[in-house]
Amino acid sequence: MTFSTPLTSSSTGRGESQLVNSVPAKLRSARVLRWSAWAPGLETPEAWRAWCAEPVPLATTGHPEAKFLPAMLRRRCSPLTRIALTAAWGCVEEGELGRVRTVFASRHGSVNESIEMIEQVVRRERLSPAQFSHTVHNAQAGLFCIAAQNRAASCSLAGRADTFACGWLEVLTHLERDPASRVLYVMADVELAPRFAELVEEPEASYALALLIARDGDGPELQFDLEGVDATPVTPWPHAGEFLRFLLSDAERFSLGRFHWTQCG
Amino acid sequence: MLMPSDAACRLSALGIVTALGSGGDEVWSRLLDGEPSRLVDRADLVPDRVLRVGAVHDPLPRIPARLAAFDCRNNAMALAALAQIEEPIARALREHGAERVGVVMGTSTSGVADAEGAIRHELSEGGLTPTFDYAQLEFGGLASFAADYLGVRGPAYSLSTACSSGARALASARSLLRLGVCDAVIAGAADSLCGLTANGFTALSAVCDGVTNPCSKNRAGLTLGEGAAVFLVEPGPGGVQLYGVGESSEAHHMSAPDPSGAGAEVSMRGALEDAGLGPDAIAYLNLHGTGTPLNDKMECLAVERVFGRALPVSSTKPLVGHTLGAAGAIEAAFCWLVLDRAQSGALALPPHWWDGEGDAELPALHLVQKGETAHPRSAPRVMTNSFGFGGNNCTLVLGRDGGRRGTELTN
């Protein structure tokens, strides 16, 4: 894909964790080998670099076509799936799509489609079997695995305001179980139906950030730690966007409440 | 405490609520009875159809007022299970500090059942029910609720990979310990009966009338259920251990497994390899055993390729229903009970309830009969399979060594 973006080793300074823990911090360290992101109007690495320099709230509506998907699979794809898989395809080279482990994080998942179906249930209408099977929280993972013919382990999760950080943590659990693997991490969300939007503090946005993460390889090494009890901050754009700004900067440390990433150099 | 990456991981305490009842003792005794007599008929889930389901009968605890945002049936079931192990959890919090304890919970429904009520209210009265909060509906709400209720300050997140969610929660918990991120993890799952999943699985023609009939030539689909199971997961030896995790994806179809059973086979072999065991070491396998024509066929084929036909296996879904996102944790709990209640090296096994009419297209596996026990020659190891919608597979190996309660394990 044209907007696949490898990361070379950064030359930033070495950060030392303050944590005293007898488990080697190495286990909590991982390298970001590549990244790719998509949001309405932000469809190239250049656009994202410009956004990182001068961020603005992300658009809430719009989704890509995801033409790399076979038409039969694409037809059933929700906006969230198209966004998530577009970032996924942009992040991993063709030959590796079938091999990576995957972690898909989304706070809201397919909730808008679920609500449509709940309305049908309340009105005693019949559900479409295909719609139902494409609305599970792991629909993006399932479709990715089918389209990429990927039989590796996969997980889908949600962690309310901490979803992005918890997804990163889940990636580390995969590297713990399979240290030699490369994990494709996709964080994606879409705008929430208006009736719920007012119940959620986070900014509305439709976007995906995909990161290819491994213990070894060519890319900045980040140590992840939990420390303190600070509440998770509400940022003007999604945490994933804040993380990308950190990744493309010279900053040594990035924190989201009690979750901390430190450049290992 | 140093925890190298192959360190022991103990499932220290179990809380459980299912159609079979509440708590290990009640569930264990009814599990061995092996009768689907606790299932009930429900006419309110799917229009013009009565479904027999594994509903939780016991009254559920009230969600405390300070956590009203999380007040839904799914969280109340989780609370019923958590309340059973509040003491060991409090001990872990004292020992390690709230920041070093995490929560990983599986769910495929979260509070959808209550959201249905809210939407029904909106369509008839205008406006969602005043007690409704998005925290009840979003998947992350379950883990958040458990963490807030227990006063846990470590990471808290929900996994949702359909029917493998609960098994995955245990896998992630073990990894969080090994990574040194947590010193204890509360891990498990909760899923509740709701119109969305009942109508969804009905639309997929996956739900049978009456009680599911796994591995039978007459099997016609699954029976839905609900419930919760939670474990306190800690590092260290003794008790019941999580020895192995196997994972795979089907890459086949959103709602149907690879008919060859290839994905299931990879998952089981992966769990054996992770546990450092050969197939002969396994004394019992709790099947995913949904009773759908496709699942049972591919699973039996895969089991035969890995184990042959002699291994005692059973599906416990006729007794509690398919509890979907909670099934992996509930069936791990059944395996935990098999090991925890071992007497003089003998393992009492949960019977396989069915009509006894074998399917010529399936290998004739050793389906556990009522009253059957296993007598493993070495320390007992058992396995449980969870295969999720969307093609997500997870297999766990649990076991028990001599160790602290070794007097009961004489051989």
Instruction: Give residue-wise pLDDT tens across range A144-160.
Output: 999 999 999 999 999 99
The pLDDT score that the predictor gives to residue B357 is 98
The pLDDT score that the predictor gives to residue A197 is 83
Q: What percent of chain A has pLDDT over 90?
A: 83
> Hey, are the CB atoms on A150 and B249 less than 8 Å from each other?
yes
Inter-axis angle of helices B73-84 and B112-125, to 10 degrees? 150
Determine whether B121 is an active site residue. Answer: no
Reported as a pLDDT band with limits 50, 70 and 90, residue B7 is confident
Using DSSP's 3-state secondary structure scheme, residue B170 falls into: helix
Amino acid at B68: A
**Are A208 and A243 a contacting pair, CB within 8 Å?**
no
| All residues at 6 or more sequence positions from A164 whose CB lies less than 8 Å from its CB, including other chains | A105, A187, A238, A239, A240, A243, A256
Least confident of A57-61, B62-66, B179-183, B276-280: A57-61
Q: How far apart are the CA of A153 and the nearest CA of chain B, in angstroms?
A: 5
Region A32-42: what's the mean pLDDT? 98
CA distance A226 to A169: 10
The pLDDT score that the predictor gives to residue A2 is 34
Region B342-371: what's the mean pLDDT? 97
pLDDT at A195 over 90: no
pLDDT at A196 over 90: no
Region B229-251: what's the mean pLDDT? 97
CA distance B356 to B367: 10
| ipTM value for the complex | 0.96
Whether the CB of A121 is below 8 Å from some CB of chain B: the reply is: yes
pLDDT at A50 over 50: yes
> Hey, are the CB atoms on A138 and B154 less than 8 Å from each other?
no
Of A4 and B236, the one with more pLDDT: B236
Q: What percent of chain A has pLDDT over 70?
A: 91
pLDDT at A97 over 80: yes
Closest B-chain CA to A141 = B390
Region B368-391: what's the mean pLDDT? 96
> Hey, are the CB atoms on A166 and B160 less than 8 Å from each other?
no
The pLDDT score that the predictor gives to residue A13 is 35
Whether the CB of B156 is below 8 Å from some CB of chain A: the reply is: yes
Tokens read off for B368 = 């556990």
pLDDT at A17 over 70: no
Question: Beta-carbon neighbour count of residue B19 at 10 Å?
Answer: 25
> Quick one: CA dihedral A202, A203, A206, A207, positive or negative?
negative
- The CA R_g of chain A, rounded to the nearest whole Å, is 18
Interface probe with A: pick from B172, B174, B260, most Cβ of A within 10 Å: B172
- Find the helix or strand (DSSP H, E) in which B286 lies: strand B282-286
Determine whether B96 is an active site residue. Answer: no
Annotated catalytic residue, options B9, B72, B163, B194: B163
The pLDDT score that the predictor gives to residue A7 is 65
Task: Please state the pTM of the whole predicted model.
Answer: 0.95
> Hey, are the CB atoms on B140 and A159 less than 8 Å from each other?
yes
Whether the CB of B316 is below 8 Å from some CB of chain A: the reply is: no
Whether the CB of B236 is below 8 Å from some CB of chain A: the reply is: no
The pLDDT score that the predictor gives to residue B6 is 64
Reported as a pLDDT band with limits 50, 70 and 90, residue A6 is low
> Hey, are the CB atoms on B175 and A124 less than 8 Å from each other?
no
Residues in A touching B138 (Cβ below 8 Å): 107-108, 111, 158, 160
pLDDT at B405 over 60: no
Question: Beta-carbon neighbour count of residue A149 at 10 Å?
Answer: 12
Annotated catalytic residue, options B72, B182, B194, B288: B288
| All residues at 6 or more sequence positions from A174 whose CB lies less than 8 Å from its CB, including other chains | A101, A103, A153, A155, A181, A183, B175
Interface probe with B: pick from A76, A118, A123, most Cβ of B within 10 Å: A118
| Averaged confidence pLDDT in chain A | 91
Tokens read off for B193 = 């009966």
- In chain A, positions 125-164, which contact chain B (CB-CB < 8 Å)? 126-130, 132-139, 141-143, 145-146, 148-160, 162-163
Determine whether B57 is an active site residue. Answer: no
pLDDT at B407 over 70: no
CA distance B295 to B215: 9
Q: For B74-92, what is each residue's pLDDT tens digit?
A: 999 999 999 999 999 999 9
CA distance A145 to A136: 15
- Find the helix or strand (DSSP H, E) in which B392 lies: strand B392-400
CA distance B183 to B177: 6
Q: What percent of chain B has pLDDT over 90?
A: 93
Q: How far apart are the CA of A182 and the nearest CA of chain B, in angstroms?
A: 15
**Are B187 and B15 a contacting pair, CB within 8 Å?**
no
Provide the CB-side half-sphere exposure for B233 (13 A, CA).
32
> Hey, are the CB atoms on A155 and B168 less than 8 Å from each other?
yes
Region B99-120: what's the mean pLDDT? 96
Tokens read off for B375 = 């007598």
Partner residue opposite B143 with nearest CB, options A142, A155, A159: A159
The pLDDT score that the predictor gives to residue B404 is 42
Whether the CB of B299 is below 8 Å from some CB of chain A: the reply is: no
The pLDDT score that the predictor gives to residue A4 is 53
pLDDT at A140 over 90: yes
Tokens read off for A97 = 């799509």
Partner residue opposite B157 with nearest CB, options A22, A108, A159: A159
Q: For B155-209, what is each residue's pLDDT tens digit?
A: 999 999 999 999 999 999 999 999 999 999 999 999 999 999 999 999 999 999 9
pLDDT at A169 over 50: yes
Using DSSP's 3-state secondary structure scheme, residue B102 falls into: strand
DSSP B383: E
**Are B128 and B121 a contacting pair, CB within 8 Å?**
yes
